[in-house]
Amino acid sequence: MNRRIVVCLVLMMMALSALADEKKSAIAPNSSFDKMKALNGAWVGTLNEGGKQIPVTSRFQMVSDGSVLMSWLGEGTPEEMITVFHMDGHDFMATHYCAMHNQPRMVAAPDNDPNRVVFKFKDGTNIGPSDGHMEQVAFIFYGPDHHIEEWTFLDNGKLTTAKFDFQRKK
């Protein structure tokens, strides 16, 4: 009796493993996602706001069996925001959990520059017709230890871009 149970459990585990491998292979490879994965780690930098350099931090971490890249901007501060990057079939997506209490979803747009990954607004939650929200974010790569993030906010038809300049924390 116990032997039958063990055999059944082993067969079920093998079937689940095969299903998981099949699901992993259904996710399309994406060079932009691969580039973003290289951000894994801690970053320090500045935000230029009105000519003043404000210190900022960022952290990226791969989670969920390497299928998701999480990003924290201003971790531990009242303005802390999280962005989750993942594949959705062939689309490379970013969901931004904003301090504005909304969650814009953006999809990576084609770009001819291999050192840029640009996400453009697709839709979101808790965003009314006149609510401000992140409209776009661009990541510009200057090697493995330096990148820039340009976050573009749309409010009442006006676009404002904040530029963050990050160096990998040593």
pLDDT in tens, 102-115: 999 999 998 899 99
Q: Tokens for 43, please give them.
A: 């970053």
Please check whether residue 93 is in contact with residue 67, taking contact to mean a CB–CB distance below 8 angstroms. no
Band (28; pLDDT cuts 50, 70, 90): confident
User: Average pLDDT in the 50-62 region?
Assistant: 94
By percentage, how much of the chain surpasses pLDDT 90? Answer: 75
Name beta bridge partners: 103: 125
Alpha-carbon gap, residue 168 to 99, rounded angstroms: 24
Per DSSP, the three-state class of 21 is helix
Q: What is the pLDDT of residue 43?
A: 98
Q: What is the pLDDT of residue 166?
A: 98
Alpha-carbon gap, residue 123 to 105, rounded angstroms: 5
Please check whether residue 152 is in contact with residue 44, taking contact to mean a CB–CB distance below 8 angstroms. no
Taking alpha carbons only, the member of 98, 95, 97, 116 closest to residue 106 is: 95
Please check whether residue 152 is in contact with residue 135, taking contact to mean a CB–CB distance below 8 angstroms. yes
Alpha-carbon gap, residue 8 to 3, rounded angstroms: 9
Please check whether residue 61 is in contact with residue 69, taking contact to mean a CB–CB distance below 8 angstroms. yes
- For the chain, strand residue ranges (E) read 41-49, 52-63, 68-73, 81-88, 91-97, 103-109, 116-125, 133-141, 146-155, 158-168
Alpha-carbon gap, residue 105 to 122, rounded angstroms: 6
21: pLDDT strictly greater than 60: no
6: pLDDT strictly greater than 80: no
User: Average pLDDT in the 71-91 region?
Assistant: 95
Q: What is the pLDDT of residue 24?
A: 53
User: Average pLDDT in the 69-96 region?
Assistant: 96
Band (130; pLDDT cuts 50, 70, 90): confident
96: pLDDT strictly greater than 90: yes
Band (84; pLDDT cuts 50, 70, 90): very high
